[in-house]
Structure 1
Amino acid sequence: MKNQPLRIGGGAFNGRRLQSVPGRSVRPTSGRVRQALFNMLRPVIRDAIFVDLFAGTGSVGLEALSHGARQVYFVEADRRVAATLQRNVEQCAVGDRATIIVAPLPLAVQRLPAVLRADVLFLDPPYDSELAEQTLTALEPRSLLAPDGMVIWQHAAWHPVPQEVRIGGQRCLGGKPRRYGDTQVSIFT
């Protein structure tokens, strides 16, 4: 099965083509889900600090930069995938607003700056894993979330999610999840 072209769907880089990773090791967030996500984030994304956990090709974080995010921290475990991510960051000429951390989650949480106060923490782990839960547990003692920050968890529609998450003592409650085919997005504020 041939990979579909990956493009930025809105903002300053609208239509910009991104490199993808051959094969099935990376499942980029679909354009439909990204468009819906950034329509929801429109009131808060400008000048935001965005953390793209399980970044893959970087399509979500680059979409955040395209819509006006001030800074994006990309976390990706696979060095080969991170090289593609780096090329996509260079292609969009946003290296001054992008930080790439190459390390597996949840261990990579320790590599995020201690002074970081993210407006949006975005998790898109492999659907057949418990990595999101493990990462959220690793994030719990860290004060990485801004006072009005949110956690967005993209997951398989069948995957159970908790009613709340805690980041650095902040209790974030889940709202009504949004479903897009087999994909579901849960937002905690």
Structure 2
Amino acid sequence: MTTARQTGTDIDESVLVEGFLSGDESCLAAVHRRWGPLVYTLARRSLGDAREAEDITQLVFLAAWRGRAGFAPDRGTLPGWLTGIARRKIADALAARTRRTELVAAAGAQLLLRATDEAVLPESAIDRVLLADEMSQLPAPQRRVLNLAFYDDLTQTQIAELTGWPLGTVKSHARRGLHRLAGRLRDDGLVGCAA
């Protein structure tokens, strides 16, 4: 009997599927070698980001391994099933990206509107000084990401390229920095609780 310890490309698909379904980790490795490039290519084309595509590829194979009992060979092929999982993971990633972008845009718009509306008021100068002071108290990575986003008008992808940080790290710094800044500004009475 052929084992999955071979390269993965010379194993009969039915043997591979049987081993995968029975929990043979060497078959999982062979499945990943055989169809990982397909999943990665789908994610890369859909997301436009190599690092995010790598993350999605890993999530797809993790989900497939954990949910392998749900695969029914009589209803379709293993690569077709993996493609379906990939499409759902890609859709989730795009939805999360949209939510993050909307959060950053809303926070930026709120600060910009407040600054524009109050630009002629003497208190606005004080607010800008307080905002700068609050920004200076953020951890350096969060402060850097927010400065690049708001003052240099860079996207998170551009910030990742500029800093050399993974896109997920940039997104985390932006989210944490905005939450921390909003909390501090709310505590100081500079922004209302409505959002």
* TM-score normalized by the length of structure 1: 0.23
Which structure features the higher share of helix residues? 2
Decide which structure has greater strand share.
1
Q: Which has the larger radius of gyration?
A: 2
TM-score (norm 2): 0.22
